[in-house]
Chain A
Amino acid sequence: MHIPDGYLSPATCGVLAAAMVPVWSTAATRAKRVVKSRYAPPTAVFSSYCFTVKMFNGPRPVGSSAHAVGGVLIACLLGPWAAVISLSVALAIQALFFGDGGVLAFGANAFNMAFVMPFVGYAVYRAVTRHTSLTARRRALAAGLGGYVGLNTAALVAAIEFGLQPELFHTSDGTPLYAPFHLSQTIPAMALAHLTVAGFVEFALTAGVVAYLQRANLPLLRINHAHVPEAGSAIPHRPLGWRWAFYGLGAMLALTPLGLLAPGGAFGEDAPQNLDLARYHLAAVPQGLHDYTGWWSHTVLDGYGFSGGSHERAGYLLSALVGCLAVATAIALVIALARVVSRADGDDAEQPVLAP
């Protein structure tokens, strides 16, 4: 999902980097507020941890090259704001010091993997672990589910960024200038790859680490869960329910129309230089929908040669729907699986080992 330079227009990169500026400054302020002098070492070491996690290869289906991103894992262990900084630093090191590219696309990569992913995943995790003790089995599964949903949402956002490129940036004869695929192609392609393989790699890593810490090093889980009771006795264990599944789906659905809103109004012309960033930023709020409609008829009237303008939008919504259905199916499968597992293992009453 790491986007190298050259796939996205400079305007897209600029907008996403601008969107990250308030996120970064909020993250820095929030993290610093805790204890000022304690800020640098953990942030730095956990940034290297984020980078290292990407080196982890696990057993996986033959031929696939998926590795976990670890964004939701860091959010579960340290909180989403700390995850923003740690993951951004890891991405910066990857882009600049190891020359993996993505210097111009740094803002876009950070937006997808250091912002969308930890926050969406963490929201799912929090929703699922409500009223759960620190050692509950559900907590590990919730973290894994958060990883799965977080990664897929980030992939969806990346797919939208890719898919918007040919619509917004092309020459007068219809030659795409950057990534050439349309939303109706990028979304299913990314969804297929991430719903089937990468998502489960992320699930396994995130759930695996939380389960390990529950078993072997509970104080580390406490970093981000100061007031969560340790044992399950105080809180009634409830069976895994359907209710929380809708949080994840809700988050995805809430994000879906963003793909339609995002282009805003300032992209009416084919020349990206004409782009007014400030205006774009404003247009990203609902007013953009209005502009969007205008932009659409504009392109069709100009005869840019799309095989059918409305077809694209329908395709987008259709693929989003397909994506949601696929997520729902996957979640249902995970729940079923989890139920089978917890039934087989009985109540997980392993004594936590405290490490000094």
Chain B
Amino acid sequence: MTAAVETPAWLLTPELGLCPCGCIGKRRRGSFVAKTIAGAGSVLQSALFSEDVAKAPGLLQRLDARAKLVALIGLLIAVALVRHVPVLLAAYAGALLLALASRLPLGFFIKRVWLFIPIFTGVIVLPATLNVVTDGDVVVPLPFGLGLTRQGLVAAALIVSRVAASISLVVLVTLTTPWTQLLAGLRSLGVPKLFVLVIGMAYRYLFVLLAAVQDMYIARRSRSIAPERDSRSGRAFVGATAGALFGKAHALSEEVHQAMTSRGYRGDARTLDVARFRPADAATFAVAALAAALLIGGDRALG
């Protein structure tokens, strides 16, 4: 029973072309069955991947989850208040440095952030550069009375860099913190114990239910010959699967309740003590506060 630190990636990839987070890849217009199986697999894979990364020896991995959570929220607010693209890019560069110091696979980290969300965001905000959306000084005139405005271009750059910086910060914390520590962090930040218990159990049973979905869809795939697209029977199948899953979830919740009652649970969540506050955590706060102050200060200095 050795620790499965490095789970071979191929083993957990049910379909081609999915990145570890499951967010990008070849958009095969395959059957909805294959897509669902792949989707469920990718959630599992992403969870295993972040557990692997969280075990690596790195800067952020050494820090306390509570300190990281507080720092994350503070920095997210700072990033949200910044109004200049260079400052946002500096925040992003800082996130990249932290990723390096925490031994995250940098290629993955950049792809995770840029290949999905900002490009998706970029496509959405592209029309916003036109004068019909954002009125202002036209810098690039286009036919039909259209034109790109300075304000529009700045706005597009702002939102893309802001989203990139925000996502990077969240991904940094998610990847470098084992989720059990994140839970403990939530608890010590004042989230009621009952909610933390519920979040923890929800995360735990997510994998049970996803495995059940995969089973049902795999059974479906093994029974179908041609790839399925839009069909009445397909829709009925989705309804029946989701319904059967609801039945499973209900039975499971009854049994979990009995298992808890059997071991003395009476409605009050009690947990082991959480780790004490260390000087390193105070240092984390200080650094995060300084970074946030620098971001906002730099932003205001630019006007």
Contacts and interface: CB of A to CB of B under 8 A. Distances in A.
Direct touch of chains A and B (CB < 8 A): yes
Interface of A: 4-7, 9-10, 13, 28, 36-49, 51-53, 55-63, 73, 77, 85, 89-90, 92-93, 95-99, 101, 103-104, 166, 171, 173-182, 185, 204-205, 207-213, 216-217, 220, 223, 272-273, 305-307, 355
Interface residues of B, number: 96
B32 A48 contact: no
Best-surrounded residue of B162, B242, B266 (most CB of chain A within 10 A): B242
A47 B257 contact: no
Given A57-B39, A204-B238, A99 B209 contact: no
Given A97-B179, A213-B246, A180 B229 contact: no
Interface in B55-78: 72-73, 76-77
B273 interface: no
B108 interface: no
A53 B81 contact: no
Contacts of A180: 125, 128, 133-134, 152, 155-156, 159
Contacts of A59: 32, 228-231, 234-235, 238
Contact of B159 (A7, A37, A209, A212): A7
A305 B239 CA distance: 51
Interface residue SS majority, chain A? helix
Best-surrounded residue of B166, B228, B238 (most CB of chain A within 10 A): B238
Contacts of A98: 21, 43, 46-47, 174
B219 interface: no
A355 B179 CA distance: 37
A55 B151 contact: no
Interface stretch (B8-16, B196-204, B277-285): B196-204
Nearest to B128: A180
Contacts of A101: 117, 163, 166-167, 170
Contact of A99 (B125, B154, B155, B171): B171
A204 B213 contact: no
Contacts of B293: none
Interface of B: 21, 29, 32-33, 35-36, 39-40, 43, 46-47, 50, 72-73, 76-77, 79-81, 83, 117, 121, 125, 128, 133-137, 150-152, 154-156, 158-159, 162-163, 165-167, 170-171, 173-175, 179, 182, 192, 194-195, 197-206, 208-210, 213, 228-231, 234-236, 238-247, 249-250, 252-254, 256-257, 260-261, 265-267, 269
25 contacts: A4-B121, A6-B166, A13-B80, A38-B257, A44-B204, A44-B253, A52-B213, A55-B210, A57-B32, A62-B29, A98-B174, A99-B167, A99-B175, A101-B117, A101-B163, A101-B166, A104-B76, A104-B166, A175-B150, A175-B158, A177-B155, A180-B125, A205-B239, A216-B243, A306-B135
A262 B269 CA distance: 39
A36 B133 contact: no
Contacts of B79: 6
A305 B135 contact: yes
Interface residue SS majority, chain B? helix
Best-surrounded residue of A38, A41, A62, A182 (most CB of chain B within 10 A): A41
Q: Which 8 A-B pairs have the closest CB atoms?
A: A208-B239, A212-B243, A44-B201, A99-B174, A5-B166, A6-B163, A180-B128, A47-B202
A217 B251 CA distance: 12
A7 B120 CA distance: 13
A35 to B, nearest CB: 8
A39 B256 CA distance: 11
A151 B52 CA distance: 37
Contacts of A47: 198-199, 202
Given A97-B179, A182-B133, A305-B136, A45 B256 contact: yes
Contacts of B73: 103-104
A38 B102 CA distance: 41
Contacts of A6: 79-80, 121, 159, 162-163, 165-167
A49 B252 CA distance: 11
A311 to B, nearest CB: 11
A13 B185 CA distance: 22
Contacts of B250: 42, 45, 220, 223
B83 A177 contact: yes
Contact of B210 (A5, A52, A62, A95): A52
A48 B246 contact: no
B208 to A, nearest CB: 8
Nearest to B175: A99
A37 B257 contact: yes
A205 B166 contact: no
A51 B125 contact: no
A93 B209 CA distance: 15
